[in-house]
Structure 1
Amino acid sequence: MTDKNAKNENSKIRIMTFFPPFIILVAFLVLSLVDQETFLGVINNINNWIIKNLGWAASILALAIVIVAVVAMFSKFGDVRIGGEDAKPELSNFSWFTIALTTTMAAGVLFWGPGEPIAHYAYPPTELYGVEPSTSGSLKFAMETMFLHWTIVPYCMYTVPAVVFAFMYYNAKKPYSIASEVSPLLGDRCYHPRWMQTIDAITLFAIGAGMAGSVAQAFMNISGGISKIFGLPSNARLWFMVGIVVAAVTVATAVSGIQKAMKHVSNINVYGFAIFLIFLLVFSNASFLFNLSTEALGGFAGTFIERILITGESVGTQWPQWWTTFYWFSWMAWAPTSGAFMGQIAYGRKVKHVLGLYVGLCASVSAIWMVLVSGTSLWVQTSGLFDLVASYDRGVENVPYDMLGALPLGNLIIPLFVVLIFLSTITACNSNCIAMAGISTQGINPDSPDSPMWLKLVWCVVPMAVGYIMIATVGVNGVKIIANFGGMFAALIMIGATASLGILIKNYKKFDKTDAGSSDKA
């Protein structure tokens, strides 16, 4: 196929893939503007149904994903190279790591990293674990919960669909479609146009909702920093202005492609992470951080299965649904589309190296982040340097800035923190804009991977607009509601991807069409 023909083919929109999720997401915007009371009633009713009826399923699926990912790493399938034996990586190891890390960490870890442990310290689920608020027990519980929510589980959720997609796309020569993440289970029937477009449409809605929740966190967090630096009120007006800037920069980097601006933004972001973490290590209390985290790590490991499966039904509490289940649904909402992107950049790597980088290295970095960031937040609170519980009660976006302001030279590092949120949001969003636009068009393949620029623009602006509406009307709980919406639909894909990885572990040769010694990517 010539470059011109490939370009023309890639400009053809997949109507039944693009329009259903686009229309539903736009309907969110229209209903919120026309009749806000009805809008809030509808979304709250749907959300309450999700957390009441599907929380148990999300917990079981999360555990199954972790088990399958670990088994895959140590199986014979782990030695398979994505793209064939002679496939060569297109990204350096460092760029691959930085893009994977910043794409998955996104703004969420910056938003919740300082604030969430304060919530668990001050408001633990006493009825579930007998932990009293603002005690040594809730201190340990807070750190255990950060390890549960932010380390191995989310990275397994990202990696399972990534490995299946990468193998089916490059090795099995299947289309650039989320259907490739479930095809080992469903067979070629999932590539029938009707099935394939349905699967991709479900995924586009899921990631649109997940992306909306993530950018909403970023709008609030960046605005909190601007408020701290310039004294402006962090409100819906400032969130809107921040959203405009984030959207503009995201589009600019997304249309430039993986190998250009996005790679440089990711590299800069990781250097910024390192500087920020070193600052916390030097100016907080390292002994407190490492001692508390070591103790909490033991508790996390010892209660892992119990905590991952908790639903709260036995004592009639919804705490797990509003925290743990929210995270499982949130990660699932991102996972199928992020998996397509992360699988695409894994070309030339062995499956065990993909799992090692994503589940091993990236999850370890996230754990270090929790040790230093969440640990510092808890130290500032318990040492009396600042009342971060009061900050949390004013709005979770206030916590990181009040935490930093309590440290020596902290006010100097606040601008860096704002920049990190900004860059993390851009990196995560433009990776998904690229993947979403690719899924929405025909003709995407390894030799012609670019989709139309206008589609990247659409899938950048619409989710960001939905995210803004949710926080402007519902507040921080709007982040959780929209994540639950997306995760509910994405869970269907994740069930298929998990089963598909199990099938590949057992019999990957059945699907592999690469010839030993061939480096052809077509």
Structure 2
Amino acid sequence: MEKKQSNLVLFVSLAVVIAIVLWGLFLPGHFEQTATGLFNFLVGNFGWFYLVSMFSFVGFSVWIAFSKYGKVKLGKDEDEPEYSFISWFAMLFSAGMGIGLVFWGVAEPLHHFLAPLGIEGGTPEAASFAMKKSFFHWGLHPWANYCVLALALAYMQFRKGKPGLISSIFIPLIGEARATGPIGKLIDILAIFATVAGVATSLGLGTLQINSGLNYMFGVPENATVQIIIVAVVTVLFMISAVTGLDKGIKFLSNVNVSLASILVLITLIVGPTLLIINSFTEGIGMYAGEFIRDSFHIEAFGNGEWFGWWTIFYWAWWIAWAPFVGTFIARISKGRTIKEFVAGVLLAPTVASFIWFAVFGSAGINLGTEIATEAIKSTPTAFFVVMGNYPLGGLISLIAVVLLCTFFITSADSATFVLGMMSSNGNLNPDNGRKLAWGFVQSAMALVLMVIGGSGGLGMLQTASIAAAFPFAFVMLFGMVSMVKALREDYQDNIAKKEDLMN
């Protein structure tokens, strides 16, 4: 019966994904109009909901880490962590941000620097605004969003022995029968679609940036043929990595990612405007902390909220769309850690790493002035390479960045195939290779088809659709927090009762 149910989720999910891709291919105008209309409706009418939800995730994560439940293990009391802190951090960071950091590390601060909200562009005030907003969009909020879902999943998997599925987090609230019934299956199918669409979008954007980097450095043409070759090569590599499993392929490549990213940051810190970077990092943390509450709820209620729709609300919706994938993957690798350890690793460490990244590359871009900044953001995929081309060792930095893009690309894709394998096999913590390979092929084909047909526009359509489809996951995570507390309270009462029995 279990096998039939997991196959039902697999086949329905595949059918939904294929139907969406065919819709986008053969009726692109209608697809774009529908996806954009739904997205604009959600952003226009529920921007406040995204802000409140994301802030509640931060508040909940901090509270639970310091509560009486902080010492509870995600597993049995005797379980120890499967991975060292460095490998664990490397894997969760690679899955959670990956390509996005390289793609936006220079481009986002430059966008805000040239077109800030309510400030003259290109000024020192605009530069400070650019760093503060970049820190804000890539800081505690996205990681708290992952943390909430991953924590509930890890608790249900390893403490309660339930399947590694999004629907499992509802068991304490609605009971096992309902959570494994039609409602649960619908949630799991939506989670699979959000994962495939989100990862395919990122893979497509990563391919475009790898192509643009090779074009900028070596004159490799930017065309469909080159992009097909890039996707084909990377697909073979990530499928090899996915088949070798967590302990070899994904873990090894994630450690490579962190090493390459650290080298990139170190070289840029040395050859770039070192003092400006240090000052920018220091000031950025101060502004982020000082205006955290205001920025968390700022939506321009009496002004033009369009800027927030395009940036903050878009990001919050995008992070929620990624939560089923990243949350499931982080949960899978977190057995044996206490809740306090888990929150510190998922919330604080990646946030600090993101701050360092944006301080280094954002400051390096802003330091070159408005003329080069304007040139750089003409094409977001090439922004990084244009900026680095103006510094000593720029060619070396760009080359390392392209290699890093490839390794981030591979780890994002193989982490996703692993998660999709779990989601479509009733939460099996070690899905079979056939299932992983099938999902790997679907992801790459989806990215490639949309990229070749519509370029970044085709990927943008898919991104918009996945964000709109992922709206229900905000409710899943909100209920997940309630469910988690209910389960923890019951456990806590049971433990007290057991201790009293032993004393008697």
Tell whether the structures are fold-level matches, with TM greater than 0.5. yes
Tell me which residue corresponds to 1:388. Answer: 373
**Structure 1 moving runs of 4+ over 6 Å:** 512-516
Matches within 5 A, 1:426-441: 426-441=410-425
Q: Which amino acid aligns with 2:444?
A: M
Provide Cα deviations, 1:264-321, integer angstroms capped at 9, x if missing partner: 1111111111110100110001111122332233222232233233344532342212
For residue 396 of structure 2, the aligned residue among 412, 415, 421 is: 412
For residue 325 of structure 1, the aligned residue among 313, 320, 323 is: 313
State the distance in 1 between where 2:58 and 2:458 align. Answer: 28
Tell me which residue corresponds to 2:75. Answer: 83
Tell me which residue corresponds to 2:152. Answer: 164
How far the C-alpha of 1:112 sits from its partner, in A, is: 0.6
Q: Is the contact between residue 114 and residue 400 of structure 1 (CA under 8 Å) also seen in structure 2?
A: yes
Q: Which amino acid aligns with 2:394?
A: G
State the distance in 2 between where 1:426 and 1:181 align. Answer: 29
State the distance in 1 between where 2:174 and 2:300 align. Answer: 34
Q: Which amino acid aligns with 2:375?
A: A
Q: Is the contact between residue 170 and residue 480 of structure 2 (CA under 8 Å) also seen in structure 1?
A: yes
Tell me which residue corresponds to 1:5. Answer: none
How far the C-alpha of 1:498 sits from its partner, in A, is: 3.4
For residue 455 of structure 1, the aligned residue among 422, 432, 435 is: 435
How far the C-alpha of 1:69 sits from its partner, in A, is: 0.8
Q: Which amino acid aligns with 1:425?
A: F
The DSSP-based 3-state class of the residue aligned with 2:470 is helix
Tell me which residue corresponds to 1:229. Answer: 217
The DSSP-based 3-state class of the residue aligned with 1:226 is helix
Matches within 5 A, 1:135-284: 135-284=123-272
The DSSP-based 3-state class of the residue aligned with 1:255 is helix
For residue 298 of structure 2, the aligned residue among 295, 302, 310 is: 310
How far the C-alpha of 1:509 sits from its partner, in A, is: 4.6
State the distance in 1 between where 2:33 and 2:290 align. Answer: 41
How far the C-alpha of 1:84 sits from its partner, in A, is: 1.5
* Identity within the alignment, %: 27
Q: Which amino acid aligns with 2:373?
A: L
Tell me which residue corresponds to 2:480. Answer: 500
Tell me which residue corresponds to 1:358. Answer: 346
Provide Cα deviations, 1:238-273, integer angstroms capped at 9, x if missing partner: 333322222222222112110111111111111111
State the distance in 2 between where 1:47 and 1:285 align. Answer: 40
Tell me which residue corresponds to 1:346. Answer: 334
Unaligned runs of 5+ in 1: 1-8, 517-522
The DSSP-based 3-state class of the residue aligned with 1:119 is helix
Closer/same/farther in 2, CA of residues 331 and 267 from structure 1, 3 Å limit: same
Q: Is the contact between residue 117 and residue 146 of structure 1 (CA under 8 Å) also seen in structure 2?
A: yes
State the distance in 1 between where 2:60 and 2:471 align. Answer: 16
The DSSP-based 3-state class of the residue aligned with 1:182 is helix
Closer/same/farther in 2, CA of residues 37 and 501 from structure 1, 3 Å limit: closer
State the distance in 2 between where 1:151 and 1:277 align. Answer: 18
Q: Which stretch has the larger CA shift, 149-158 or 177-186?
A: 177-186
How far the C-alpha of 1:39 sits from its partner, in A, is: 3.5
State the distance in 1 between where 2:249 and 2:311 align. Answer: 35
How far the C-alpha of 1:462 sits from its partner, in A, is: 2.5
State the distance in 1 between where 2:485 and 2:25 align. Answer: 49
Tell me which residue corresponds to 1:34. Answer: 26
Counterpart check, 1:45 vs 2:30 = no
Q: Which amino acid aligns with 2:374?
A: V
Q: Which stretch has the larger CA shift, 256-265 or 477-486?
A: 477-486
State the distance in 1 between where 2:495 and 2:9 align. Answer: 29
State the distance in 1 between where 2:9 and 2:495 align. Answer: 29
Counterpart check, 1:293 vs 2:286 = no
| Alignment RMSD | 2.6
Q: Is the contact between residue 377 and residue 383 of structure 2 (CA under 8 Å) also seen in structure 1?
A: yes
Q: Is the contact between residue 250 and residue 411 of structure 2 (CA under 8 Å) also seen in structure 1?
A: yes
Q: Which amino acid aligns with 1:482?
A: L
State the distance in 2 between where 1:442 and 1:181 align. Answer: 14
Closer/same/farther in 2, CA of residues 364 and 251 from structure 1, 3 Å limit: same
The DSSP-based 3-state class of the residue aligned with 1:54 is helix
State the distance in 2 between where 1:161 and 1:302 align. Answer: 27
How far the C-alpha of 1:47 sits from its partner, in A, is: 3.0
